[in-house]
Amino acid sequence: MLLATCALTACGGDPEPIRAATAAELQTDLDQVAEAIDAGQCGRRVDAPLQRLDRDVGNLDDIDADLRGSLQDGVDRLAELAQQECEDAAAAKETTETETTTEPTTTEPETTTPPDTPTTAPQPGDGGQAAPADPGADPPGQGKGKDGGE
């Protein structure tokens, strides 16, 4: 910034210096660019003062052409640096957001189904209720015993 201030006031040169009011306007625009970049607020907050600087330096007809050329080169370089700073800040922000973003995980509750219990069809005279089948028992009417036939 010291170099920009020195150039604005035409330090050490014989040509017509930049008027104080014009130098102050240019310095304000330079400060706004720096503040916006430092705050990570690129876009319009950087572009507007850069456009004013470009326009105002281009309109400095009453100063030495070499000084005006140097100022224009400085504004052009500042625009390049501002763009690079903004791109770097955006990339760093994107990287940080990507690294810190985690997807929430959900666990589905595990459900169990009880095993099927075999049942027999209701028999006449048992009230319409099906009784659980005994896997080792003989089917009704075929068992051993007083009604079973053996």
CB 68 within 8 A of CB 45: no
The tens digit of pLDDT for each residue in 42-84 reads 888 999 999 999 999 999 988 888 999 999 999 999 999 999 9
The burial of 50, by beta-carbon neighbours within 10 Å (0-12 exposed, 13-18 middle, 19 or more buried), is given as: buried
Hey, is 101 helix, strand or coil? coil
The tens digit of pLDDT for each residue in 121-139 reads 656 665 555 555 666 666 6
- The residues spanned by each domain of the chain are 2-100
Report pLDDT for 137.
Answer: 63
Torsion of Cα atoms, 38 then 39 then 41 then 45, to 10°: -70
117: left (phi over 0), alpha (psi -120 to 50) or beta: beta
Query: Dihedrals φ, ψ of 66, to 5°?
Result: -65, -40
Report pTM: 0.52
- Name residue, tokens 């100022």: 71
- Name residue, tokens 């330096």: 57
Contacts of 116 (CB under 8 A, 6+ apart): none
The tens digit of pLDDT for each residue in 97-130 reads 666 656 666 677 677 776 666 666 656 665 555 5
